[in-house]
Structure 1
Amino acid sequence: MTHRIRAARPEDLQHLYEMAKLTGGGFTNLPPDRKALTAKLERSAQAYANLEEGDPKSERDELFVLVLEDVATGEVRGTSQIFTRVGQQWPFYSYRIATLTQHSKELNRTFRAEMLNLVTDLEGSSEVGGLFLHPSERAGGLGMLLARSRYLFIAMHRKRFSDRILAELRGVIDERGGSPFWDGVAGRFFGMNFQEADYFNAINGHQFIADLMPKHPVYIAMLPETARSAIGLPHPSGRAAMRMLEEEGFAHEGYVDIFDGGPTMTARTDRVESIASAKAVPIAHVRAPEGSGTAAKALVATGRLADFRCCFAEIGESAEGLVLDPIAAASLGVGEGDTVWHVRR
């Protein structure tokens, strides 16, 4: 069975809606709301239609929605998203963990208190997010295809993206669908439970946080144990995603999500492994590469903006150049002489 990544289209709405109902909450970028998903697809369509390369210092925040498609059936089995520059429409808030050290000469003691500071440090960064793979497809490396195809897209459209990139991982959600972190911190100020706040944020954006969130630091020691233990931990379903991010060069530098306390991972865009290693080369031959002596598994991509496509492939090298397997070539719609981008799997 062959899958490929392509740009999302308006007719993907129903597939996205059905997947959104499976996320289990805390998944802001994929809300189970047709109106919100339609708005996302419209915003994405505008980004794909914008042929301008863009100024690296531009304040334009574009959204690109990608989908994982079963080539044989045309069904959409997963999705992911890329934001060019967050925090331009409304503030992009995070908590950053900081330490305050105080010393008492009389007691001869030093006290160190960890605090959560509300910041907009990551404003202007690019973001990879919204990754969801249908539960029945969680095998064969398709999650990796969804995740890493975004980096090939960035490499192929580098001028549109910032020099810093982030990824927010969903935090701990309890058996009731609530968030221990939200209950112990922000929930005390908003008069709504986590599900209500998360849904409102997904539909309406972060502005209500600016309106109601207290701006003073929160001392972690004063929080309930359930909230403290959730800070910086990913949801169990997100541990593999966190490992993949770390392998790409992302790190947790003390930023956590203001809703569920999940870790925010950051990196320098040009140092992300799949971006730094991506190469653009012309196809010399479309055939099985086993006989080339350099056969390897790779992610291969082609097309700009709305024509972007990416899939797993077998590649090799010959005296004339790149060798690409016929199944991948058919999935991507490319042939000899066409240029593709690739990165080793």
Structure 2
Amino acid sequence: MTFFMRPARPDDLQTLYEMAKLTGGGFTNLPPDRTSLSAKLERTAEALSRTDDSMEDELIVLVLENSETGQVRGTCQIFSKVGQKWPFYSYRLGVLTQHSRELARTFRAEMLSLTTDLEGSTEVGGLFLHPRERAEGLGLLLARSRYLYIRQHRARFGEKVIAELRGVIDEAGGSPFWDGLAGRFFGMSFQEADEFNAINGNQFIADLMPKTPIYTAMLTDHARSVIGLPHPNGRAAMRMLEAEGFANAGYIDIFDGGPTMVGQVDGLRTVSEARDVTFSGTHDSSGKKMLAARGRLANYRCAYAFVAEQPDGTVKLDASGAKLLGLAEGDTLTLADR
């Protein structure tokens, strides 16, 4: 095994930019814009330099590095507390039931209500794996490394955690949901709005969108059909989030209608089942393949390793895994089952 996760550095800018150009649009947290990506790396550096443990409005960008080549082949992000610089808007999907005595009929109308319910949550997002590396469980390593990072720095994150999944985008790069709802109030295409949002945030939508509930029956059939659905490429990510402990709570993205998954940090599988152990050396046997992490802030590392439990409660790792994590005998590390 040669891949490991670490916090991003300023010199990762070019690689992140190249990966951002491969996303295909609708990927707000990883825009193909050098200025925006550079700002993310600056925020990460600021967060990593802060030593006091308190919850602030911070961003941590993590990257997947091949230790043999030095190439960065994937990335993901953690926002410690959303909705601090501007409101964090979502649509909440609900139902209004009304009854007519004269008609002897009950009507149930599905509605979208603009809300800031999720403000203050920790958000995980920006996950992208280079198409050539989509094997050997690296997507799972990317995703779960975020939860172990949160566990290692628990005081810096909230109780609730969310993950926004990209909504359905057609072959032309447009969004049926945007065209059926928000696009009617703006003089721009989804691609233009998406690019503006990635660089400037979505406050402009909140400023101009109607604040009253939207009856979904007023939308086009195409727009209604994609509400709360992830992009086809994001279905595996949705299943992975559900396995981790996230649930679809009826919140959707105001841009493309994709689902926002919600969970409790301490209830996430990776966080609740992880355990701290002492490293006592390397072994030559195969061991059990596990997720292993160590270090704090800029020194954080996460990788797969083959772990052999010892009678005294310590663990031994394969030489490759121990090297990826930079372990010395007596060090403490965190383990989680795959």
TM-score range, shorter chain: over 0.9
CA distance in 1, matches of 2:285, 2:158: 36
TM-score by length of structure 2 reads 0.98
The aligned runs of 1:293-304 (5 Å cut-off) are 295-304=287-296
- 8 Å contact 1:289–1:323 — kept in the other structure? no
Which segments of 5 or more consecutive residues in structure 1 lack a partner in the other structure? Answer: none
**Counterpart residue number, 2:222:** 226
The aligned residue for residue 341 of structure 1 is 334
Q: Which residue of 2 aligns with 1:330?
A: 323
Given candidates 319, 330, 333, the residue that maps to 2:311 is 319
- The counterpart of 1:269, out of the listed 245, 265, 274, is 265
**Aligned-partner Cα distance in 2 for 1:183–1:145:** 35
Q: Is the 8 A contact 1:61 1:83 kept in 2?
A: yes
Task: Report the CA distance between 1:195 and its aligned residue.
Answer: 0.6
Gaps of 5+ in 2: none
Distance of 2:241 and 2:285 partners within structure 1: 30
How much has 1:289 moved relative to structure 2? 4.5
Alpha-carbon contact 2:283-2:308 (below 8 Å) kept: no
Residue of structure 2 in register with 1:306 after alignment: 298
2:30 is aligned to 30
The answer for the alignment partner of 1:279 in structure 2 is 275
Amino acid at match of 2:303: C
Name 2:178's counterpart in structure 1. 182
The answer to whether the 8 A contact 1:288-1:323 is kept is: no
Distance in structure 2 (CA, Å) of the matches to 1:303 and 1:225:
51
Q: Secondary structure at the match of 2:23?
A: coil
- Cα distance between partner residues in 1 of 2:131 and 2:231: 16
What amino acid is aligned across from residue 241 of structure 1 in structure 2? A
Residue pairs, 1:1-345, within 5 angstroms = 1-54=1-54, 58=55, 60-290=56-286, 295-320=287-312, 321-345=314-338
**Which string of whole-angstrom CA distances, capped at 9 and with x for unpartnered residues, describes residues 51-100 of structure 1?**
1111xxx4x21100000001100000000000111000111000000100
Identity within the alignment, %: 65
Shift of 1:336: 1.4
How far apart are the structure 2 equivalents of 1:285 and 1:126?
36
1:335 CA drift (Å): 1.9
Post-superposition CA distance 1:202-259 (Å, at most 9, x none): 1001221221111011101111011001101100110110000000010001000000
Moved over 6 A (4+): none
- Corresponding residue SS for 1:175: coil
Q: Is this contact kept in 1: 2:292–2:333, CA < 8 A?
A: yes
Alpha-carbon separation, structure 1, partners of 2:251 and 2:284: 46
How far, CA to CA, are the matches of 1:124 and 1:289 in structure 2? 46
Q: What is the alpha-carbon distance in structure 2 between the residues aligned to residue 91 and residue 124 of structure 1?
A: 10
Q: Aligned equivalents of 2:280 and 2:2: distance in 1?
A: 23
Q: Is the 8 A contact 2:79 2:122 kept in 1?
A: yes
SS at match of 2:60: strand
Quote the Cα distance in structure 2 between the aligned partners of 1:269 and 1:330. 30
* Equivalent-residue separation in structure 2 for 1:114 and 1:29 (angstroms): 29
Distance 1:319 1:273 in 2: 26
Q: CA deviation at 1:300?
A: 0.4
Alignment partner of 1:240: what SS?
Answer: helix
Deviation at 1:288, TM superposition (A): 3.0
**Which whole-Å CA distance do the structure 1 matches of 2:267 and 2:283 have between them?**
33
Q: Give the AA of the match of 1:198.
A: D
Task: State how far apart, in whole Å, the 1-side matches of 2:203 and 2:47 are.
Answer: 23
